[in-house]
Amino acid sequence: MVRKGAFLVGLFFAGWLLWSFLVGAYSYVVEPPAKTVEHEFHLAPKHVSFSFDRPLGRYDNQQLQRGFQVFKEVCSACHSLKFVAFRDLAGIGYNEAEIKAIAKNWAIKTPSVDPATGEASTRDGIPADYFPSPFANNVAAAAANNNAIPPDLSLMTKARHHGSAYVYSLLTGFQEQPAELLKHFPDAKTPEGLHFNPYFANLNLAMAPPLSADGQVTYGDGTKPTIDQMSQDVAAFLTWTAEPKLENRRRAGVATILFLLIATGLAYMAYQNIWADKKKAA
């Protein structure tokens, strides 16, 4: 009796799922969903090649240092790197003296208040400090950025699909709205204060083009600082901030695969040796 009851319950739910599927499929065919401007004009990230893309690829420290320079001189005016400490920059080739000099140029807020001005006191940064936010709080950040709070960039490339290519595409994707978009979606005109970018999810974002001209940053290694080059460099740097142990993880993966291959070979030879006499006897 219990089995029959269980069978009938299962049959009921299976029939209900089938009915729901058929009704949904019929509705989709008869009344297909309306096309949206995001569906029509949102673009997948551009194809861009980085040294760390390959299965055994490695970071290019020279590129990461250029990317850090772009972040420091351009992006840090609005964005933070709250999960990255100054001493972590040793991972991209900076020595101890250079890290101390970099940290010293950042003002770190302290809990104390200046009695003369009533403002929070600051001190020079040290290697153990984390990169500070450029704003005191979210209210201040929103007030300075058209009511949009700039996101922290520490893990941005892991938070977005094709993260490195996404950052590169976003930085190089600012443009005027296509005439075709306004023709088919006249109500989708980019609001005042926002900027059209087909690589952003809803096509409009509050951030103005941060890299607006070639030569905006002067590279010490002689690399020509075009918008495309600066975008690639800072995208690579933000990939490193999100995955600083990428190379170690890949090396560990290679070592594990080699170990498993050797262990598999030894196990097979042991099997052959142990069971050889048994097979002959059989």
Annotation: binding site for heme c? 75, 78-79, 207
Point out the annotated binding site.
75, 78-79, 207
CA neighbor of 170 nearest in space, from 76, 78, 234? 234
Question: Which residue reads 């094709």 in tokens?
Answer: 162
The bridge status of strand 120-124 relative to strand 195-196 is: unpaired
Q: Residue 30 contacts by C-beta under 8 Å, 6 or more apart in sequence?
A: none
- Over the Cα atoms of the chain, what is R_g? 28
Task: Return d(Cα 238, Cα 198) in angstroms, integer.
Answer: 21
Strand, helix or coil for residue 9: helix
Give me the residue label for tokens 């975008």: 231
